[in-house]
């Protein structure tokens, strides 16, 4: 037990417990993760990721780190952009998610380096990557400030961080979004993934995640410059971008 508390969805837990609880969620959902993403978002997650991939200014031969990469949607996009001469690392803290991602990419003929890695202690050298991405992962991390600092450390000067994450929806839509998140989402999770609790956690963790301006400030505090964000789907998600100078 430590004196430090944090959030796991709407529950307050000991800091030492959070990573284990998050691990349970993703071990449980890994097999159905991709189908659930399509069903829950009505396919919109593909648009959000497509926009993210097109935002990056990458060139052939660049080095990219996909943190909390899960089943590999962004990694696949990065690999196409940097070509065979580039380097794209698919990483995640969760072996079940990473195994699904690795197998999926292999089935598509993409052989990428894969690493089980905690974003808070990245096993990569300083100043190595041209781009670091994290999609729908930051929300689940216990020490987001430490993770952002690690992302800054491994980027080359001039390199970019892209954070795609759920954010604060526009006020007029809050009622209907809450109804969807807290009534429909857990039912879908139960029917499709046989796991209502993980999707209840998803809805709760989104509400506890820093809003657009707070995350922008956190990125500035971690050392990033030129930080800005772009809302998508009325703020349901936001893409934050920061540069290491
Ligand atoms: C919602 S999934 C996102 C997967 C993928 N990036 C996507 O957009 O589909 C969140 C991922 O974050 C990973 N994760 C949670 N905490 C992490 C940490 N401290 N370091 C690395 N990955 C973490 C989980 O294991 C999970 O695979």
Confidence label for 1 from pLDDT (cuts 50, 70 and 90): low
What does the alpha-carbon distance between residue 65 and residue 210 come to, in Å, rounded to a whole number? 23
- Ligand 1 midpoint to CA 55 (Å): 21
Name the fold adopted by 5-171+200-244: Rossmann fold (3.40.50)
Q: What is the pLDDT of residues 132-150, one digit of tens each?
A: 999 999 999 999 999 999 9
Pocket test for ligand 1, best of 43, 70, 101 (most atoms within 8 A of CB): 70
Ligand 1 binding pocket mutation candidate from 137, 154, 165, 204 (most atoms within 8 A of CB):
137
CB distance 64 to ligand 1 below 6 Å: no
Q: What is the pLDDT of residues 194-206, one digit of tens each?
A: 999 999 999 999 9
Taking the domains of the chain in order of start, what are their residue ranges?
5-171+200-244
Answer whether 69 contacts ligand 1 (Cβ < 6 A): yes
Pocket lining: 122 vs ligand 1, CB cutoff 6 Å? no
Q: pLDDT tens across 171-229, in order? A: 999 999 999 999 999 999 999 889 999 999 999 999 999 999 999 999 999 999 999 99
Average pLDDT over residues 68-80: 98
Q: How far is the C-alpha of 72 from the C-alpha of 79, rounded, in Å? A: 10
d(CA 68, CA 141): 10
Distance between CA atoms of 50 and 68, rounded to whole angstroms?
17
Four-point Cα dihedral 68, 70, 73, 79, nearest 10 = 70
Q: Would you mind telling me the total number of residues written for the chain in this entry?
A: 245
Determine phi and psi for 162, rounding to 5 degrees.
-120, 125
Q: What does the pLDDT read at residue 152?
A: 98
Ligand 1 lined by 237 (C-beta under 6 Å)? no
Q: Which residue has the higher pLDDT, 3 or 67?
A: 67
Average pLDDT over residues 36-51: 97
Mean pLDDT to the nearest integer, 163-172: 98
Most ligand 1 atoms within 8 A of CB, residue of 90, 91, 93 to mutate:
93
- Strand 237-243 relative to strand 155-166: parallel, antiparallel, unpaired? antiparallel
Q: Is the CB of 72 within 6 Å of ligand 1?
A: no
pLDDT one-digit tens code per residue, 21-43: 999 999 999 999 999 999 999 99
Residue 230: how many CA atoms within 13 Å on its side-chain side?
11
Quick: pLDDT tens for 95-132: 999 999 999 999 999 999 999 999 999 999 999 999 99
Q: Is the CB of 150 under 6 A from ligand 1?
A: no
Res. 3 pLDDT band, cuts 50 70 90: confident
| Torsion angle (degrees, nearest 10) of CA 121, 124, 128, 133 | -50
Q: Whose CA is nearest to atom 14 of ligand 1?
A: 68
């Amino acid at each position: 037990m430590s004196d430090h508390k944090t959030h796991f969805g709407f529950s307050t837990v000991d800091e030492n417990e959070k990573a284990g609880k998050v691990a349970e969620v993703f071990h449980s959902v890994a097999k159905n993760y991709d189908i659930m993403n399509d069903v829950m978002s009505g396919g919109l997650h593909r648009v959000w990721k497509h926009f993210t991939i097109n935002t990056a200014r990458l060139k052939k031969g660049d080095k990219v780190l996909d943190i909390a990469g899960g089943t590999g949607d962004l990694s696949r996009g990065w690999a196409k952009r940097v070509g065979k001469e580039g380097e794209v690392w698919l990483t995640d803290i969760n072996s079940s998610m990473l195994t699904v991602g690795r197998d999926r990419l292999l089935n598509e003929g993409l052989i990428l380096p894969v690493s089980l890695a905690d974003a808070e202690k990245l096993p990569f050298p300083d100043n190595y990557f041209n781009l670091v991405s994290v999609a729908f992962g930051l929300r689940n991390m216990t020490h987001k400030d430490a993770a952002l600092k690690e992302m800054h450390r491994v980027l080359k000067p001039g390199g970019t961080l892209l954070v795609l994450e759920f954010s604060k929806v526009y006020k007029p839509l809050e009622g209907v979004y809450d109804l969807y998140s807290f009534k429909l989402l857990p039912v879908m999770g139960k029917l499709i993934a046989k796991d209502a609790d993980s999707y209840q956690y998803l809805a709760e963790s989104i509400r506890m995640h820093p809003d657009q301006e707070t995350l922008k400030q956190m990125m500035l505090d971690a050392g990033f410059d030129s930080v800005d964000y772009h809302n998508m789907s009325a703020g349901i998600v936001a893409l934050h971008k920061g540069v290491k100078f």
